[in-house]
Amino acid sequence: MYKVKNLLATKHICDIFYKQFKNYDLHSSDFPIPRFNTVNYGKHSIRYLGPYLWGKVDKDLRNKTSLREFKKAVRAVNLTDVLDGRCRCYACST
């Protein structure tokens, strides 16, 4: 999501997500979490999981200036603290 936010990912990947352009910041997230029709496939899609997990990450971490700094900071974060044990998706359970 960092690469998508900073336009470092390929165009195909960037087209999957869309940014939220608002003057006010209610959810402190850069990407809105999309609605889905089925729980089995909707909650396990990258279109849902990307913005969901990105919204759980600390705002200071999301606003790092370079990819190198972001990767270094992510490695230092305990992801179980970020998720609070609530996410039961395939990506988080493995």
**DSSP assignment string, the chain:** -HHHHTT-S-HHHHHHS-----SS-SS--SSPPPP-S-HHHHTTSHHHHHHHHHHHS-HHHHT-SSHHHHHHHHHHS-HHHHHTT---SHHHH-
What pLDDT does 69 receive? 93
pTM of the model: 0.67
pLDDT tens per residue across all 94 residues of the chain = 889 988 899 998 888 887 765 555 555 567 877 777 776 677 778 888 888 888 888 888 888 999 999 999 988 887 776 666 555 555 555 5
- What is the tally of structural domains in the chain? 1
Domain range enclosing 6: 2-93
pLDDT of residue 72: 92
| Burial class of residue 36 in the structure, from the number of CB atoms within 10 Å of its CB (0-12 exposed, 13-18 middle, 19+ buried) | middle
Longest Cα separation, the chain: 37
